[in-house]
Structure 1
Amino acid sequence: MASTEPKTVVIFGATGIQGGSVAKALLSDPITARQFKVRAVTRDPTKPAAKALIAQGADVGDLEDKESLNSILTGAHALFLVTNFFETYDAALEKRQGKNVADIAKKLGIKHFIWSSLPSISKIFSYQVSNNKFTAAAHFDGKAAVDEYIQSLSIPSTVVRLGIYVDVLLDFIAPLPTNPLSYGLCFPGTSNWKTTLPIIDPSADLGKFIKIVLLNPDKTIGQSYNLAEKYYTLDKVSSILQQRGLKIAPIPVELETFKSGLAAKGVPEFFQTTMEHIIQYIIEYGYFGGEGIDAGLELVNEALTSLEDSCKTNSKIGELINQQ
């Protein structure tokens, strides 16, 4: 007779955007709430959200400490893992963290490892700079290397790759103090406004995907899914922002101007170059390297959040409107 005890799902980064969405979805859905027990793990116990979660019984996990991981994953049925490159801008560290979790998952016999990854740009697109080929975006390739490592260990797993966050689009917005418009949606080049971007509101929607992945292991183990609500052109993004009340238009800029804008926002110099290469890759090959999002969309049985709806509730966009 099958056990009726709920199966423990460990969610790493439970106070973050992705992990928080997954935890909320599993806890708020009556079906998953009966079938799964959430074991939330936070990386930084000093954050206010983490303190609140710890008070509710969450664990503190160090992705660099295998003993800590062993303790957290003991007794678990499944796990969701996302690592945060932007905490350190260290792709090698991020890759090591993913492999650490994989090693312990293999040792303990975890039945379903769900890994939040990105496409391997180096396999899709190579750059030639000073006659030396190099990896365009180390954090993309670092995550993709963890895909391969998990597979090499024969861990039952599902890989998800998220499209572009709604908030990331805001990094392309710059004020235009000498222009009748308030803002420009700045993008390198003059003919790329029809470039399509797969956009997702991860806080609202990632959990909708992951709970279906967990509920259907026979279908989803061994698979990878590209997750987004829809593809949008930059023209369409600008139009939606205008409808929201933002005085904005697409503005083509020189590459160096674009990088200077990133520098003004505190982006490290090496990552300015990385962003340059990612954009070139997207223009030539598409964000998912030519793959679509249909398989991911077929998973969900709930409505996803459109860019229009995300813009209505996004506080950062509200702040930009108020500053016009």
Structure 2
Amino acid sequence: MSQKSLIVVSGATGSQGGSVVNALLATGLYKIRALTRNPNSDKAKALKAKGVDEIVKCDPSNKEDIKNALSGADIAWIVTNYWDPLIIGVNPGEEERQGKLVADTAKEVGLKWLIYSSLPDSTTESDGKYPAIVHLSGKNRVEQYIRSLGIPNTTFVYLSYYYQNLGISAPFVNKGNEVEVCFPYLTENDAIPMIDVESDTGPIVAKIIEEGPAKWNGKKVPVAAESVRPGKVNF
């Protein structure tokens, strides 16, 4: 029997990472190393109970933690978190620093395949109309840095707007059995690509890994479940 590939999943107790862990566990094909700041948390213990092979403490700002987390792994799913209370409003450049630190360490330890949760650069994509939206442009600069390092295989997954964010990133009003969400910058002809981050992320990443780097090396993978126009959205 061939040895199972060891896959590192960062942010394993969060929405993206948790979805990836669940999808990989469902295949039964891989050894999983889940990264978390607190291996003793209830969420981390729940991952262990589900069958995750290793729960490893990793502070994404600490090089030695990252090196320990990536050493011996074949593949890594990496997500950085701009919305971390230690970053947003405190040190917005820290997410980019963390992403580049992971990239450097992945190169150093000889990681075979780095799959990074990236986003498009707002300045480039809008022809300069929307310059430097920090959480977009920072992730994209990390992507370009990763591409420059010569890691054997790299893939970049672009997740679209989360359904889960509807109630927290736009004004909303409860109206009985309905919730009205206000996006004042949209017209009736616009559409927002959307996903369920907890249900959709993992299966996509698991499929990328199944199909392998021969298909996905160097590729951007935009992910959306549907494009939603203003009006009623049913969940």
TM-score, normalized by the shorter chain, greater than 0.5? yes
Two-structure CA RMSD over aligned residues (Å): 2.3
Matching residue of 1:119? 120
Matching residue of 1:257? none
SS at match of 1:91: coil
**Any conservation in 2 of the 1:173–1:183 contact (CA below 8 Å)?**
no
Matching residue of 1:69? 66
Matching residue of 2:18? 20
**Cα offset, 1:182, TM superposition:** 6.7
Matching residue of 2:156? 159
Q: Output one character per residue of 1:129-169: Cα deviation in whole Å (capped at 9) or x when no partner.
A: xxxxx834111000000110000101110000001101112
Shift of the 46–195 alpha-carbon distance from structure 1 to 2, 3 Å rule, reads farther
Structure 2 unaligned residues grouped into runs of 5+: none
User: Relative contact order: is structure 1 or structure 2 higher (C-alpha 8 Å, sep ≥ 6)?
Assistant: 2
Matching residue of 1:211? 206
Q: Output one character per residue of 1:48-67: Cα deviation in whole Å (capped at 9) or x when no partner.
A: 31344468640010111111
Provide TM-score, normalisation by structure 1: 0.64
Matching residue of 2:221? 225
SS at match of 1:184: strand
Provide TM-score, normalisation by structure 2: 0.87
Measure the CA separation in 2 of the matches of 1:91 and 1:220.
Answer: 30
Measure the CA separation in 1 of the matches of 2:58 and 2:162.
Answer: 25
**Cα offset, 1:185, TM superposition:** 2.2
Shift of the 77–181 alpha-carbon distance from structure 1 to 2, 3 Å rule, reads closer
With 40-49 and 7-16 compared, the bigger mean Cα shift is at 40-49
1:59 aligns with 2:59: no
**Cα offset, 1:199, TM superposition:** 0.7
Measure the CA separation in 2 of the matches of 1:188 and 1:9.
Answer: 42
Instruction: Give 1:105's aligned amino acid.
Output: A
Q: Tell which structure's C-alpha radius of gyration is larger.
A: 1
Instruction: Give 1:43's aligned amino acid.
Output: R
Q: How does 1:144-155 map to 2 (within 5 A)?
A: 144-155=140-151
Instruction: Give 2:42's aligned amino acid.
Output: P
More helix, by proportion: 1
Matching residue of 1:99? 100
Q: Output one character per residue of 1:58-101: Cα deviation in whole Å (capped at 9) or x when no partner.
A: 00101111111111111100100011111131431111111111
Q: How many residues are treated as equivalent by the alignment?
A: 224
**Cα offset, 1:103, TM superposition:** 0.6
Q: Output one character per residue of 1:151-210: Cα deviation in whole Å (capped at 9) or x when no partner.
A: 010111000000110111223352278xx9975321215x71221111111111111111
Instruction: Give 1:200's aligned amino acid.
Output: I
Shift of the 219–183 alpha-carbon distance from structure 1 to 2, 3 Å rule, reads closer
**Cα offset, 1:46, TM superposition:** 6.3
Q: Output one character per residue of 1:220-264: Cα deviation in whole Å (capped at 9) or x when no partner.
A: 1111110011111122xx2x34xxxxxxxxxxxxxxxxxxxxxxx
Measure the CA separation in 2 of the matches of 1:21 and 1:79.
Answer: 14
Measure the CA separation in 2 of the matches of 1:43 and 1:64.
Answer: 11
Percent of aligned positions with the same letter in both sequences? Answer: 34
SS at match of 2:69: helix
Shift of the 104–136 alpha-carbon distance from structure 1 to 2, 3 Å rule, reads closer
**Any conservation in 2 of the 1:42–1:59 contact (CA below 8 Å)?**
yes
Candidates 171, 176, 180, aligned match of 1:184: 180
Instruction: Give 1:210's aligned amino acid.
Output: V
SS at match of 2:221: strand
Instruction: Give 1:42's aligned amino acid.
Output: T
1:50 aligns with 2:44: yes
Q: Output one character per residue of 1:277-307: Cα deviation in whole Å (capped at 9) or x when no partner.
A: xxxxxxxxxxxxxxxxxxxxxxxxxxxxxxx
Measure the CA separation in 1 of the matches of 2:111 and 2:178.
Answer: 52
Candidates 34, 56, 80, aligned match of 1:83: 80
1:38 aligns with 2:32: yes
Shift of the 195–50 alpha-carbon distance from structure 1 to 2, 3 Å rule, reads same
Measure the CA separation in 1 of the matches of 2:177 and 2:82.
Answer: 34
Matching residue of 1:142? 138
Shift of the 181–17 alpha-carbon distance from structure 1 to 2, 3 Å rule, reads closer
